[in-house]
Structure 1
Amino acid sequence: MYRARDAVENEQWIAAIEEASERLDLGTETRSRAADLFLTNAPESDRSKRAVLAASVYVSALTTGERRSQSAVADATGVSRLAIQSRWKEILESAGFDAPDW
């Protein structure tokens, strides 16, 4: 879980989630879940935040039924598909879901 202060300290990243969600035409629930996932899993390093942001958007779309491909999310967030691949399962599990074995 995160604190309200975390949302304030990460305003630019939440804005980036909104921008990516707009590009991907994602709904309100998906956008909100992406922000929650990001804030719950946000690393200290700014360098890693972009990858966590992208994986959070991917997982939120996956869990709300608004599936988007890793490639589409990578393009919308400005990261490589590999960045999403390396993080999405841990974020999915942090949300209380079981990650697939494949």
Structure 2
Amino acid sequence: MYSARERVENEEWIERLDGVAEELDLDADARSTAVDLFLSNVPEKERSKRAVLAASLYAGALIESDARSQGAVADAAGVARLTIQQRWKELLREAGLEPPSW
């Protein structure tokens, strides 16, 4: 879980996440879940935040049955598809969810 302080400290990144979610036309539940995943896993290094943002969007959309392809999310977020592929399952585990085996 995350604190209100973390939300305030990462407001710029939440705005970026919302912008990418808008580009992907994700529904409100997918966006909310993505924000929760992102804030629960914010890395300390600034350069890693874009990767976690993209993986959070992919995983959040998947959880809320509003899935987009890894490639589409990667393109919209400005990261490589491999970046999402390497991170999204760990985000689910950190959230206490079991990622699919496919």
* CA apart distance, 1:98: 1.0
Query: What one-letter code is carried by the residue in structure 2 that aligns with 1:32?
Result: S
Structure 2 partner of 1:71: 71
Counterpart Cα distance in 2 of 1:4 and 1:67:
28
Percent identity at matched positions? 59
Cα deviation for residue 95 of structure 1 reads: 2.1
What amino acid is the match of 2:30? T
Deviations 1:27-46 (A, max 9, x none): 11111111110000000001
Deviation at 1:96, TM superposition (A): 2.1
Secondary structure at the residue paired with 1:87?
helix
Give structure 1 regions of 4+ aligned residues with deviation exceeding 6 angstroms. none
Question: What is the root-mean-square deviation of aligned Cα atoms in Å?
Answer: 0.9
Aligned residues: 102
For each residue in 1:37-80, what CA deviation from the matched residue of structure 2 results, as whole angstroms up to 9, or x when unmatched? 00000000011000000000000000000010000000111100
Calculate the TM-score normalised by the size of structure 2.
0.96
1:1-102 pair list within 5 angstroms: 1-102=1-102
> Normalization by structure 1: what TM-score?
0.96
Q: Which runs of 5+ in 2 are unaligned?
A: none
Separation (CA, whole Å) in 1 of partners of 2:35 and 2:64? 13
Aligned counterparts of 1:98 and 1:2: Cα–Cα separation in 2: 20
CA separation in 2, counterparts of 1:95 and 1:62? 14
* Structure 1: stretches of 5+ with no match in the other structure: none
